Structure 1
Amino acid sequence: MKFEMTEYGFETETEFGKLEISSNEEKGFRPYQLMVGSIAACTGGVMRKILEKKRMPAQSITIEVKEVVRSQDDASRLEKIHYHITVQADGLTEEKMPKILELTHKNCSMYQSVANCIEIEQTVEILK
Structure 2
Amino acid sequence: MELIQSSETIELVHENGNWLLSRQEGFSPVQLIAASAAACSSYVFEELLNRQRIPYQLIKVSFEYMENPFYPNPISKIDVRFLINVPKKNQEAAKQIFLQIPQNCPVIQSLHPRIKLNESVFFAE
TM beyond 0.5? yes
| 1:19-46 Cα distance to aligned partner (Å, 9 max, x none) | 110132xx22111111111011110011
In the other structure, the counterpart of 1:19 is 19
Is the CA contact (8 Å cut-off) linking 1:63 and 1:85 kept in structure 2?
A: yes
Distance 1:115 1:44 in 2: 20
Matched, 1:111 2:108: yes
Matched, 1:85 2:82: yes
Aligned CA RMSD, in angstroms, stands at 1.8
Runs of 4+ displaced beyond 4 Å: none
Higher strand share: 1
**Identity of counterpart residues, as a percentage?**
25
Residues 23, 72 of structure 1: alpha-carbon distance in 2 compared, 3 angstrom cutoff: same
* TM-score using structure 2 length: 0.87
Q: How many residues are paired up?
A: 124
Is the CA contact (8 Å cut-off) linking 2:49 and 2:94 kept in structure 1?
A: no
| 1:67-125 Cα distance to aligned partner (Å, 9 max, x none) | 422111221110011111111234431x3244212322111111111161310111210
Amino acid at match of 2:38: A
Distance 2:112 2:84 in 1: 22
Distance 1:69 1:54 in 2: 34
Distance 1:115 1:98 in 2: 25
Matched, 1:55 2:53: yes
Amino acid at match of 2:21: I
Distance 1:103 1:61 in 2: 20
Distance 2:73 2:5 in 1: 22
Gaps of 5+ in 2: none
In the other structure, the counterpart of 1:3 is 3
* TM-score using structure 1 length: 0.85
Gaps of 5+ in 1: none
